[in-house]
Amino acid sequence: MKAAVIVFPGSNCDRDLAVAIREVGGVAPDMVWHGDSELPEGLDLVAVPGGFSYGDYLRSGAMAARSPIMRAVTDAAARGMPVLGVCNGFQVLTEAGLLPGALMRNAGIDFVCRDVSLVVDNTQSLFTGGYDAGETISVPVAHHDGNFFADDETLDRLEGEGRVAFRYGESVNGSARGIAGVLNAAGNVLGMMPHPERRIEKAHGGNDGRRLFEGLLAAVA
C-alpha cells in the first residue's frame, strides 16, 4: 500500500492523517508538497488533510485547490485514484471541482469543535465498507465553514445515486439535508467535514474513525 498526504502551507492535520494511515496501513505515507506538480509513482491513495491551508484566505480551500499539486490530484482522480479529503481537504476538493457543492460558513456562525454523531449512509463505497448500514458513529468536528450547500437538483442527484456517505445525526452546522460527507460520481473521491483520523485510538476518546481507514486501506491494498 502506498499513500500520499498533500502538505499545504497552513494545514495542521496532515500529520494526524499520516499517523492514521501509518497506524492502520503499516506504511508511512509520502508527504507531498503543494508546490510539486507530480505525485509519486505507484500510489494507491491520495489524502488531502484538514486545517486552514493558506490561512483560509479568500475562501476555505480556495487557494489550495489552485496549487500545482492539485492539478496532478485532479488528473489522478479522473483515472480512478482513490482520494480522501477531510475537513479543509473536503473544502479543497469542492473548490477544485472534484466534488459538487460548496462549504459555507456554519449556520450558527460559531466555530464548532466537538464530537458529533454521524450516520453512515452508504456502506458500499471504497471508504465506508468497514461500517454497517445505518450505523451511528462518533467522530469529532472542528470547523467554521462546514455548512454543505448545493442546489436541490444536485442534492437530489447525490441522494438518488447513493453518494451521501455520512450524515450528521444531530444539528451541527446547517448543512443541506444533514450531509457530512459526499462521494464523486465514480465513487473514488470522498470529502467529509468530520475528522476520522482523530478517532483511531481508544485512548484518544474512541476509534470509530479507524474502520474508515481499515476498510479503505484493505480495499486499495
Quote the least distance from Cβ 51 to another protein, whole Å. Answer: 20
13 is known as an active-site residue: no
Cα separation values, 99 from 19, 131, 148, 158, 179, Å = 25, 22, 11, 11, 13
Q: Which is the catalytic residue, given 197, 201, 204, 214?
A: 197
Quote the least distance from Cβ 149 to another protein, whole Å. Answer: 6
Question: Taking Cα atoms as reference points, which of 200, 201, 199, 179 lies closest to residue 191?
Answer: 179
- Which is closer to another protein, CB of 60 or CB of 122? 60
Quote the least distance from Cβ 167 to another protein, whole Å. Answer: 19
144 is known as an active-site residue: no
- Which is closer to another protein, CB of 102 or CB of 219? 102
Give contact residues for another protein (rule: CB under 8 A). Answer: 58-59, 62, 66, 94-95, 101-102, 104-109, 147, 149-150, 174
Quote the least distance from Cβ 174 to another protein, whole Å. Answer: 7
Q: Which is the catalytic residue, given 34, 87, 95, 143?
A: 87
Cα separation values, 68 from 34, 81, 185, 206, Å = 6, 18, 24, 36
- Which is closer to another protein, CB of 179 or CB of 220? 179
Distance CA 162, CA 160 (A): 6
- Which is closer to another protein, CB of 176 or CB of 218? 176
Residue type, 105: R
Distance CA 151, CA 212 (A): 28
Which string of DSSP letters, residue by residue, matches 121-160? ---SSTTTTTS-TT-EEEEEEEESS-EEE--HHHHHHHHH
Quote the least distance from Cβ 80 to another protein, whole Å. Answer: 25
Q: Which is the catalytic residue, given 195, 201, 204, 214?
A: 195
Question: Taking Cα atoms as reference points, which of 163, 205, 201 lies closest to residue 181?
Answer: 163
- Which is closer to another protein, CB of 73 or CB of 81? 73
Give the catalytic positions in this structure. Answer: 87, 195, 197
